[in-house]
Homo-oligomer: A and B are copies of this chain.
Amino acid sequence: MMETTTKSKRVERKEEIRKKILDVAKDLFLKHGYESVSIRKIADKVGISPTTIYLYYQDKSDVIYALHQEGFKALAIQFAALKNVEDPFERLKAMGRNYIDFSLRNPDFYQLMFMIKDPIEFVERNCASEWEEGEEAFGAMLATVADCKEHGYFGKLDLHSIALHIWFVVHGICSLKLQGHLDHVVKSHIQEGKDAYALDDAFETLITIMKGIK
């Protein structure tokens, strides 16, 4: 017997390789985008055979889902930094800004997290509708909106309706920006010089409207 630790060395090594595969996938993903993540390229970079990956992940979508989770962890860190903002409406504003900034700084992650079908389908198939990471993020927002309501914001509107609404706006901004649709429309229909400010304008408009709800 050699299992003095909770994990035997074999299991340990297995987890190491599993992590290495994910790290290489993440590296490829961030450097060359979603489309460039292929089983064969990952295997090459790790130094193993393509089929070996299937001993550690059941699927390609399983690898993609693991990346998806990494993204949610990174977003959670962004949100966690806001716990000490006292004024609830300022905290809500900061959350929105952080969300948008995250999408701009990690466009590939954002697309994977909110704009691509594969990972969420993987959740539906394999995770029995738990999925802590996503619920946590939305929960944090719900709490802040509730806090705002207690301070007199948002009138008689329902808590969940407000929270969802803000998410819709912010996701709308991010997703249309990332796909180039926003720039396209702004370039065609709105005065010159506003190009770069479209995003800030959009956020300002949201804040103005939300603050004005009686």
Chain A interfacial positions (CB closer than 8 Å to B): 114-117, 120-121, 123-124, 129, 131, 134-135, 138-139, 142, 155, 157-158, 160-162, 164-165, 167-173, 175-176, 179-182, 184-190, 198, 201-202, 204-206, 208-209, 212-214
Could you say which of B121, B158, B179 contacts A180, with CB atoms under 8 Å apart?
A: B121
In the assembled complex, which residues on chain B have CB atoms less than 8 Å from the CB atom of A115? 115, 175, 179
In the assembled complex, which residues on chain B have CB atoms less than 8 Å from the CB atom of A158? 205
Q: Across the interface, do B214 and A180 meet the contact criterion of CB distance under 8 Å?
A: no
In the assembled complex, which residues on chain B have CB atoms less than 8 Å from the CB atom of A157? 205, 208-209
In the assembled complex, which residues on chain B have CB atoms less than 8 Å from the CB atom of A213? 209, 212
Most central of A114, A182, A186, A189 by chain B CB within 10 Å: A189
> How many copies of this chain?
2
Q: Across the interface, do B181 and A120 meet the contact criterion of CB distance under 8 Å?
A: yes
Q: Across the interface, do B184 and A173 meet the contact criterion of CB distance under 8 Å?
A: no
Residue of B nearest to A124 (CB): B180
Given contacts A129-B187, A138-B185, 5 further A-B contacts (CB under 8 A): A115-B115, A168-B169, A168-B176, A172-B175, A212-B212
Q: Across the interface, do B135 and A188 meet the contact criterion of CB distance under 8 Å?
A: yes
Instruction: Report whether over half of chain A's contact residues are helix, strand or loop; otherwise say mixed.
Output: helix
Shortest Cβ distance from A17 into chain B, in angstroms?
Answer: 30
Q: Across the interface, do A131 and B161 meet the contact criterion of CB distance under 8 Å?
A: no
In the assembled complex, which residues on chain B have CB atoms less than 8 Å from the CB atom of A135? 185, 188-189
Shortest Cβ distance from A80 into chain B, in angstroms?
Answer: 19
Could you say which of B168, B182, B189 contacts A172, with CB atoms under 8 Å apart?
A: B168
Residue of B nearest to A117 (CB): B179
In the assembled complex, which residues on chain B have CB atoms less than 8 Å from the CB atom of A180? 117, 120-121, 124
In the assembled complex, which residues on chain B have CB atoms less than 8 Å from the CB atom of A161? 201-202, 204-205
Shortest Cβ distance from A201 into chain B, in angstroms?
Answer: 6
Q: How far is the CA of A146 from the CA of B175 in the complex (A)?
A: 25
